Amino acid sequence: MVNNLFFRVYLRTRKQEAKEYTELKQRIINIGTFTLVEYSRLKQYFIASVLRLNDR
């Protein structure tokens, strides 16, 4: 729950990173990802990089 909140607040307060995340999600869809599992797996690196900022 804390990670979800951190991620949401992070993107709401950082417009450039939010734009990059939106573009990543669009690229994932454009390559033909059809399952939620695959979609989530392809987003995980971006999300993990943001969550690591909360560990500092």
Taking alpha carbons only, the member of 11, 22, 2 closest to residue 50 is: 11
Binning pLDDT at 50, 70 and 90, where does residue 33 land? Answer: confident
Q: What are the DSSP calls for the chain, one per residue?
A: -HHHHHHHHHHHH-HHHHHHHHHHHHHHHHTT--SHHHHHHHHHHHHHHHHHHHT-
Looking at residue 55, its pLDDT comes to: 83
pTM above 0.85, yes or no: yes
